[in-house]
């Protein structure tokens, strides 16, 4: 169920993105949409001062809070300047006019909690309306999958400071993520890449390893939820983030 809904959502988003800047084709027009997109305009570099490259996560800030400005784009870098995967440590901020600034540079030695293997920022990046930025880490020591470790989710405040880490349990190579908020908190929907096996997988294995749900409680003074929401069998998880 989770896999099917996610795929449908991604397809719908992709189609809207492709058609957003072009005139909608008529119902009988069978010409490829991609052929209508001929111009490439460079808006900004995503390389910060430390030389990190390979931009992975990308998310638009919806609400101005602290150093976060509505309409700006946050981007996480997966590689370091030597192009080693799983070693990028920076999140950059791109303004609508293309101005580049650094939102955060995360040092593995200064984390407030565990993150097995260190820091290698992935495409699992989201910004909550309350100003929390959450990004996945799938670290390596030499840029190869042979040294990949479980990593964690890193929680940053609106100034770019890491204030908490979520590690262990079913967080094992957090790769992609989205979030859904309501009045009581936020749900993170997370995929991992180190849970599965190489080669064909039985349908039951795919179902149990696709994604998990993490509940964040954002109201002041709230306590950790006793519920463990399930998005897919095998991944019950609950976390609390105080606001």
Q: Over the stretch 122-171, which tens digit does the pLDDT of each residue have?
A: 999 999 988 999 999 999 999 999 999 999 999 999 999 999 998 987 78
Q: Are 202 and 180 in contact (CB under 8 A)?
A: no
Distance between CA 4 and CA 181 in Å, rounded?
21
In the chain, where are the structural domains located?
A: 1-41, 46-217
The answer to whether 119 and 106 are in contact (CB under 8 A) is yes
Residues shown for the chain: 243
Phi, psi of 57 (to 5 degrees): -75, 140
DSSP secondary structure string, 103-118?
Answer: EEE--GGG-SS--TT-
Kindly state the helix (H) or strand (E) to which residue 121 belongs, with its residue range.
strand 121-127
CA 31 from chain centre, in angstroms, equals: 34
- Whole-angstrom distance, CA of residue 99 vs CA of residue 121: 22
Query: Given a cut of 60, is residue 218 above it in pLDDT?
Result: no
Q: What is the pLDDT of residue 181?
A: 80
Could you tell me whether strands 174-182 and 185-192 are parallel, antiparallel, or unpaired per DSSP bridges?
antiparallel
User: Which residues on neighbouring strands pair with residue 19, listed in sequence order?
Assistant: none
Please answer whether residues 183 and 202 qualify as being in contact, where contact means their C-beta atoms are separated by less than 8 angstroms: no
pLDDT of 223 above 90: no
Cβ 112 vs Cβ 59: under 8 Å? no
Question: pTM here?
Answer: 0.73
Average pLDDT for 18-41: 66
- Rounded Cα distance, 55 and 228, in Å: 33
Token digits for 58?
Answer: 């990308």
Burial of 59 (0-12, 13-18, 19+ CB in 10 A): buried
Contact by Cβ (8 Å): 186, 174: no
Classify each residue of 135-155 as buried b or exposed e, where b means 16 or more C-beta atoms within 10 Å of its C-beta: bbbbbbeebeeeebbbbbbbb
Architecture, CATH, for domain 46-217: 6 Propeller (2.120)
- Per residue in 34-53, pLDDT (tens digit) is 888 888 888 899 999 999 99
């Amino acid at each position: 169920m989770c896999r099917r809904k996610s795929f449908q959502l991604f397809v719908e988003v992709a189609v809207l993105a492709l058609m957003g800047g072009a005139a909608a084709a008529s119902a009988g027009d069978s010409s490829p949409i991609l052929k209508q997109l001929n111009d490439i305009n460079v808006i900004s570099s995503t390389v910060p001062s430390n030389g990190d490259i390979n931009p992975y996560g990308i998310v638009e800030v919806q609400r101005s809070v602290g150093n976060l400005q509505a309409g700006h784009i946050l981007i996480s870098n997966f590689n370091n300047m030597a192009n080693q995967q799983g070693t990028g440590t920076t999140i950059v901020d791109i303004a609508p006019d293309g101005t580049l600034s650094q939102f955060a540079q995360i040092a593995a030695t200064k984390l407030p909690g565990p993150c097995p293997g260190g820091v290698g920022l992935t495409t699992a990046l989201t910004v909550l309306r309350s100003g929390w930025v959450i990004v996945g880490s799938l670290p390596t020591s030499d840029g190869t999958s042979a040294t990949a470790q479980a990593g964690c989710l890193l929680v940053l405040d609106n100034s770019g400071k890491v204030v908490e880490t979520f590690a262990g349990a079913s967080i094992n190579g957090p790769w992609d993520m989205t979030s859904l908020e309501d009045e009581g908190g936020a749900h993170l929907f997370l995929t991992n890449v180190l849970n599965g096996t190489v080669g064909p997988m039985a349908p039951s294995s795919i179902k149990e390893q696709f994604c998990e749900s993490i509940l964040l409680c954002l109201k002041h003074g709230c306590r950790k939820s006793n519920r463990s929401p399930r998005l897919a069998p095998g991944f019950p998880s609950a976390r609390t983030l105080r606001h």
